[in-house]
């Protein structure tokens, strides 16, 4: 996820846990790398696998690791469910254990498609994005069950 430098500064100064930033660069064959005015948000914490009570998530051509290749068919409502015990070490910024989307790579990175984890954040992070006027995300609550 990329954010502009102003929002990155606000996030960095807010005392959030589990967040770090990387520079963003454009690479040119003849001109080299140029740093862009954005920062990539990185999460330091990966959640455990979702509870089997989650809905709307299907494994589709999973890779050998079993983490990559989950799909979200629109016919079934999407509900992310975690066990209460899974939230003991949660940070403000987390990513899912599962990686979503297809993988397509034929040796050319410019045409490649890679699966990715979803960000899971606390309401504190949501408020910062909301107060900054960011509207380009689907925010969805997670459900917690005792198992």
The DSSP-derived string for 2-59 is: EEEHHHHHHHHHTT-SSEEEEEEEEEETTTEEEEEEEEEEEESEEPPPPPTT-BS-EE
**Is there a domain that residue 135 lies in?**
yes
pLDDT per residue as tens digits for the range 38-89? 999 999 999 999 999 999 988 777 677 777 778 888 788 899 999 999 999 8
Residue 112: the pLDDT is 83
The total domain count for the chain is 1
Its pTM stands at: 0.86
pLDDT at 122: 94
From CA 49, how far away is CA 46, in angstroms rounded?
9
Q: Give the integer Cα–Cα distance in Å for 108 and 33.
A: 19
In a domain, residue 2? The reply is no
pLDDT in tens, 20-40: 999 999 988 888 889 999 999
* Token pair belonging to 59: 């494994």
pLDDT of amino acid 120: 95
**Residue 15 domain-assigned?**
no
Report DSSP state, residue 115: -
Q: Is residue 97 part of a domain?
A: yes
Contact at 8 Å (CB) between 100 and 70?
Answer: yes
Q: Are strands 143-145 and 81-83 parallel, antiparallel or unpaired?
A: parallel
Which residues span the domain enclosing 108?
A: 44-145
**Six token digits for residue 4:** 């502009």
Distance CA 42, CA 23 (A): 11
The Cα 111–Cα 35 span in angstroms is 22
Q: Does 131 map to a domain? A: yes
147 confidence band (pLDDT: 50, 70, 90): confident
- Please check whether residue 28 lies inside any domain of the structure: no
Q: Tell me the pLDDT tens digit for each residue of 120-138.
A: 999 999 999 999 999 888 8
User: pLDDT confidence of 103, banded at 50, 70, 90?
Assistant: confident
Q: Which residues have C-beta within 8 Å of that of residue 98, sequence separation ≥ 6?
A: 49, 50, 57, 67, 70, 117, 118
Domain annotation covers residue 38: no
Asked if residue 58 is part of any domain, the answer here is yes
Band of pLDDT at residue 114, cut at 50, 70 and 90 = confident
């Amino acid at each position: 996820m990329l954010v502009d430098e102003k929002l990155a500064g606000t996030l960095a100064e807010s005392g959030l846990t589990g967040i770090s930033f990387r520079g963003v660069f454009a690479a040119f064959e003849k001109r080299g790398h140029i740093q862009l005015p954005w920062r990539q948000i990185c999460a330091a914490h990966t959640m455990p696998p979702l509870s089997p009570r989650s809905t709307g998530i299907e494994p589709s051509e999973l890779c050998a690791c079993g983490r990559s290749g989950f799909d979200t068919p629109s016919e079934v409502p999407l509900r992310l469910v975690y066990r209460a015990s899974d939230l003991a070490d949660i940070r403000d910024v987390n990513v899912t254990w599962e990686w979503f989307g297809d993988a397509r790579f034929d040796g050319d990175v410019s045409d490649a498609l890679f699966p990715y984890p979803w960000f899971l954040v606390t309401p504190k992070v949501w408020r910062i994005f909301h107060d900054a006027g960011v509207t380009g995300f689907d925010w969805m609550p997670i459900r917690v069950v005792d198992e």
